[in-house]
Chain A
Amino acid sequence: MKAIEVLRARTVVLPGSNIDTDQIIPARFLTTTTREGLGRSLFADWRYDGQGALLPDFVLNRPEAQGCRVLVAGRNFGCGSSREHAPWALLDYGIQAVISTEIADIFRSNSLKNGFLPVVVDETTSSWLIANPGAEVTIDVASTTLTLPTGVSVKFPLEAFSRYCLLNGVDELGFLLDRRGDIEAYEQRRHS
């Protein structure tokens, strides 16, 4: 995982609540055995028509959305299936963070393990962002703040350990492997 300190980018707004991981990447694209190339299938049923042509009206397909790296979405983003293909697809497409008033647990956990930033904010901030698509925002991992172009800054929750992993590009597997001694001791304790 690459270290990430600050993300400064424009937003694209998908206002619906309860956007589930079946929408983020439909199941028929999950018969893959790698994690590459999933960006093509991101929001496939909303982005393409039945023939596979881009639907010009869908927000992500509009010219002004090109290059936007922060997704602003409604409440309970990423609910449903535990497929890690969801953050993989978002990242592969070029989106690196989502801002919402509520983010589903498993999606959040999967995101953090891939350097994708789940940013939970209050209603006021969320409403402002939904009303101002294309706003350039700054997400600062070190200080766990989101700064709007108006100058307003809000804190977002980020667990100390996740913050440490993001800032240092550390992956959890290395951390767990270093605990092998503890794990062995636990196994012996349980068996005796």
Chain B
Amino acid sequence: MAPAPQTMLEKVWRLHEVSSETADTPAVLYIDLHLIHEVTSPQAFAVLRERGLPVRRTDLTLATMDHSTPTRTEQIFGGAPITIDSAAKQVRELEINCAQFGVELLGLRHSQRGIVHIIGPELGITQPGKTVVCGDSHTSTHGALGALAFGIGTTEVGHVLATQCLLQRKPRTFALSVSGRLRPGVTAKDLILAIIGKIGVGGGTGHVIEYRGETIRGLDMDERMTVCNMSIEAGARAGMIAPDETTYEYLAGRPRAPQGDAWERAVEEWRKLPTDAGAVFDRQVDMDASVLEPMITYGTNPGMVIPISAAIPTRDNDAVFAKSLAYMGLEAGAPIKDQPVNVVFLGSCTNGRISDLRSAASVLRGRKVAKGVQMLVIPGSQQVKKEAEAEGLDRVFIDAGAEWRESGCSMCLGMNGDLVPKGQYSVSTSNRNFEGRQGVGARTLLASPLTAAASAVRGRVTDPRELLV
């Protein structure tokens, strides 16, 4: 009898079961790659110290710093101090922990440092079929390469450090099939925002979403990562995309990808990963990408999203909705287009890769950021920065009047000194528009790099297609 058809999640899961789940106990799941950063690891190392435990597999553990690190060049390379004392202490503590436990650290001045979810794929250490975890919810990004990648809490960071394993119940499977071509000016970011708008911010809870269909197959790796990155904004812990030629082409030759014979053998294994024909998912949703417009959020969660030409919806007798709009200072029924903008942030693990910078630069080339608008461009990693500078993208941004800095999470979250001032409107290419996410009282409108750049030029929320001729 032929084996029952399996989904990609099931295949990766089975390959990593140290022991299977039973009614009484979860599975013991083996982790192939554990990424660490400064914010969610100190308390985990403390537990190891308390119990006198070593890191079990330092060779499968890689640390970097991104969240609380400053982005000003003088603070990274010029010897100027990190302004926030507690952040400086956190950075130092990671250095000490990595040195004491023998964990490799891509530290503050390392040429391969960057946002943890950007550097994994970039180094080729994120690979199809691997289990990847990190104390960070956007670990879902790595699923774009066909890995099973999800965020964990600090207690679990300790579990993986000590045992290289986690206790897990197998999540449910969710097929999200996308067909139709994205129209010019409509990007992967718009697609994932539309998906979240459709299934809701809790729509994926308990599930791993596998993005499928011709539209997904047609996306390049950077775009696939943008899609998988925001799986968590739909409540799913992980997103996955089957590896294919696009994936292998992306990975080939990367510093930590297998080389030579090992590469051939790896690809052979990876080809077995995609979901078998006839496999059944617990849930299935279909989307048509050809009808999408550029999308933008207007509220305080990523599900509060509309096409850029639409009006902000009206919801009577919904106090939570009203509170959200009050926080945003926006009115139900009003258009979002032409809303004045104070800050534009281009960066983050959602849209801080080279193609995102190219896409924004295509709008900004030969144009200026509107007077009174602050635009911050933060490459997702030092490698992205280097590549962008080699292409002259930094000049495009600087000539337009934007700031160009070192890599990090920056304005995606208000903990490293890069903040949106209270009450100001920020068009941001990041992933969360929660109250206060970019700073106390900051008002975040999530959008694509194209929309962000177009809005920077006009100083108002702008449909990028008006500038793309």
User: Which residues of A approach B to under 8 Å, CB–CB?
Assistant: 15-18, 20, 22-23, 26-28, 30-35, 45, 50, 74-76, 79-84, 102, 104-106, 109-110, 113-114, 159-161, 164, 172-173, 175-177, 179-180, 182-183, 186-187, 190
Q: How far is the CB of A118 from chain B (nearest CB, A)?
A: 12
Shortest Cβ distance from B169 into A: residue: A159
The one of B135, B235, B440 that contacts A79, using a Cβ cutoff of 8 Å: B235
Q: How far is the CB of A36 from chain B (nearest CB, A)?
A: 10
In the complex, B323 has a CB within 8 A of chain A = yes
Asked if A81 and B158 sit within 8 Å, CB to CB, the answer is no
Asked if B137 and A173 sit within 8 Å, CB to CB, the answer is no
Asked if B24 and A160 sit within 8 Å, CB to CB, the answer is yes
- Given the known interface contacts A23-B435, A183-B30, the answer about A31 and B153 at a Cβ–Cβ threshold of 8 Å is no
With A and B bound together, what is the CA distance between A34 and B323 in angstroms?
Answer: 34
18 extra A-B contacts, CB within 8 A, seeds A34-B42, A104-B235, A159-B26: A18-B202, A20-B434, A30-B67, A31-B68, A31-B87, A75-B202, A79-B201, A82-B40, A82-B152, A83-B39, A84-B153, A106-B137, A106-B237, A114-B155, A161-B167, A172-B159, A175-B167, A177-B53
The one of B43, B158, B205, B235 that contacts A173, using a Cβ cutoff of 8 Å: B158
Asked if A33 and B43 sit within 8 Å, CB to CB, the answer is yes
Asked if B202 and A27 sit within 8 Å, CB to CB, the answer is no
Q: How far is the CB of B266 from chain A (nearest CB, A)?
A: 14
Asked if B18 and A183 sit within 8 Å, CB to CB, the answer is yes
Asked if B40 and A20 sit within 8 Å, CB to CB, the answer is no
- A-chain residues with CB within 8 Å of residue B436 when the two chains form the complex: 22-23, 26, 45
The one of B153, B165, B319, B435 that contacts A82, using a Cβ cutoff of 8 Å: B153
Taken residue by residue from 43 to 67, chain B's Cβ proximity to chain A (1 for < 8 Å, 0 otherwise) reads as 1001100010100000000000001
A sample of 21 cross-chain residue pairs with beta-carbon separation below 8 angstroms, ordered by A number, consists of A16-B320, A17-B320, A18-B202, A18-B301, A22-B435, A27-B67, A34-B42, A79-B235, A79-B301, A80-B232, A80-B432, A81-B413, A82-B136, A82-B151, A105-B205, A110-B154, A172-B155, A176-B28, A176-B165, A182-B18, A187-B30
In the complex, B362 has a CB within 8 A of chain A = no
Q: How far is the CB of B312 from chain A (nearest CB, A)?
A: 17
With A and B bound together, what is the CA distance between A182 and B97 in angstroms?
Answer: 28
Asked if B301 and A20 sit within 8 Å, CB to CB, the answer is yes
The one of B39, B163, B303, B320 that contacts A183, using a Cβ cutoff of 8 Å: B163
In the complex, B23 has a CB within 8 A of chain A = yes
Asked if A164 and B162 sit within 8 Å, CB to CB, the answer is no
Interchain residue pairs A-B with the least CB separation, the first 7: A31-B86, A110-B153, A84-B153, A33-B42, A76-B202, A82-B151, A27-B415
In the complex, B19 has a CB within 8 A of chain A = yes
In the complex, B90 has a CB within 8 A of chain A = yes
